[in-house]
Structure 1
Amino acid sequence: MTPTFSHGDLRLYLLNLLDEGPRHGYDIMQALSDRTGGTYTPSAGTVYPRLSKLEEEGLVTKSVDGRKTVYQITDAGRAEVAARAGDLEGIEAGLADSVRLIADEVRGSVREAMKSLRADLAAAARDEKAHATTAPPSDDVRVQSREQLHRSDALVSEFRARIRSDVRTYVARGGVLTSTVVDDLERSLDDAARAVTRALSV
């Protein structure tokens, strides 16, 4: 899920950002992305028309600084921010809830991936035991073991690539990777490693 602003909420939030200090357009878009953990990155087509509307309403002014257009809140804009402090608190709380839910989804994805890996390893162990009961010639056992070794290598590599890609993509988009998520991943990997050790010692 991605945090979104209603038209009125985004308007107020833009004013709030400018109340913190003058900003140019890109800085405003970056601030919106930062405040939502990278889960909401507005386009120029979303931000600039609203800034122009705020300027028309006399709530912000703009000036040119080199190649950048800098927006600054007016006294009327500050008065609106102050008058709607309660609305801003609600917007901030909603954004925080959205970011927490996204973090929960990431943790859930990691857990599901680990369950899938453990299930694959358990199935591979069962297959090995089933084949062992047929007592094939020793040469065949070595061949089958090498085949299964390649299969296990492929499973681990596929899992590593999948998790690495998911996590790197999440962080690249500005997502916040918490220590709790990494701790969950570490515990799950330890559990999987112990399961493999137990299966091999049977």
Structure 2
Amino acid sequence: MPPVFSHGDLRLYLLSLLASAPRHGYDIMQSLAERTGGTYTPSAGTIYPRLAKLEEEGLVTKTSDGRKTVYEITDAGRAEVESRAADIQGIEAGLADTVRAIADEVRSNVREAMKSLKADLAAAAHEAPRASSSASDPSEDDSRVRARAELHRAEAAIAEFRGRVRADLRSHVARGGELLPATVDALTAALEAAASSLSSSLKR
């Protein structure tokens, strides 16, 4: 799956969350999970080092509230959030696009898995009468199993590539980045070349 946050974006997004209200670490992780529709649930090992870095920079402070540590944004942190409001809007737009891309990828993977399963079941039903009338060749069965395993691996790689590229493009455009026709033409040409190379390889 494609990354939800690009490099440096999570740091700024954490500041924007704290700008709305003081929060403890678990609350921050839950808020991130809720805002991404459950597609991204960061670990403590991801969140706390970044909060510690923000504290070192003087952008947040922490206080103990019983057994919990509450993080609160400082004036310097709030000033950064205000000065980078456009960046935060871009992150939120990119986040929405990424979440949709992940959801689309999951749906696509499920559909492809169902198609593959139906094809396997149909093939098994077709092969069953032949198997009952004559003993199967073990080497042929092994070859078929290996081919199907590699097919699933190839499909997973294609799905991952599609999701990552789509998320990068949408995030770039959402942040106001320019997408030149030459860039799209180069991408199209590269994909066509890869497809042609694969077709040639399969015909050998």
TM-score range, shorter chain: 0.5 to 0.7
Establish whether residue 29 from structure 1 lines up as the match of residue 29 from structure 2: yes
> For residues 7 and 108 of structure 1, do their structure 2 counterparts lie closer, same or farther at Cα, with a shift above 3 Å needed?
closer
TM-score, normalised with respect to structure 2: 0.55
TM-score (norm 1): 0.55
Instruction: Encode CA deviations 1:10-56: one digit per residue, 9 max, x unaligned.
Output: 11111001011110011112222222233333232322222122223
Correspondence 1:167-178 to 2 at 5 A: none
Deviations 1:99-158 (A, max 9, x none): 11111122212322332344356556766999xxxxxxxxxxxxxxxxxxxxxxxxxxxx
> What is residue 103 of structure 1 aligned with on the other side?
103
| One-letter identity of the residue aligned with 1:91 | I
Contact 1:2–1:39 (CA under 8 A) maintained in structure 2? no
Specify whether residues 64 and 116 from structure 1 end up closer, same or farther in structure 2 by C-alpha distance, changes over 3 A only.
same
User: SS state of the match for residue 8, structure 2?
Assistant: helix
Q: Distance in 2 between matches of 1:106 and 1:89?
A: 26
Q: Structure 1 residues 49 and 109 mapped into 2: Cα distance closer, same or farther (>3 Å)?
A: closer
1:104-143 equivalences under 5 Å are: 104-120=104-120, 122-123=122-123
Alignment of 1:1-202 (within 5 A): 1-120=1-120, 122-123=122-123
CA 1:73/1:38 → structure 2, altered by over 3 Å: closer, same or farther? same
Does the aligned pair in 2 maintain the 1:33–1:39 contact within 8 Å? Answer: yes
Aligned partners of 2:56 and 2:129: how far apart in 1? 76
1:41-96 alpha-carbon deviations (Å, 9 max, x no partner): 32323222221222232221211110001011122211211110111111112211
Q: Deviations over 1:144-179 (max 9, x none)?
A: xxxxxxxxxxxxxxxxxxxxxxxxxxxxxxxxxxxx
SS in 2 for 1:88: helix
CA distance in structure 1 between the aligned counterparts of 2:76 and 2:126, rounded to whole angstroms:
72
In the aligned structure 1, how far is the partner of 2:114 from the partner of 2:32? Answer: 33
Q: For this pair of structures, how many residues does the alignment match?
A: 132
Alignment match, 2:150: none
Distance 2:57 2:120 in 1: 62
Unmatched tracts of structure 2, length 5 or more: 131-204
- Give yes or no for contact 2:5–2:95 (8 Å, CA) kept in 1: no
Name the % identity.
78
Tell me which amino acid in the other structure corresponds to 1:94: G
Mark the structure with the bigger radius of gyration: 1
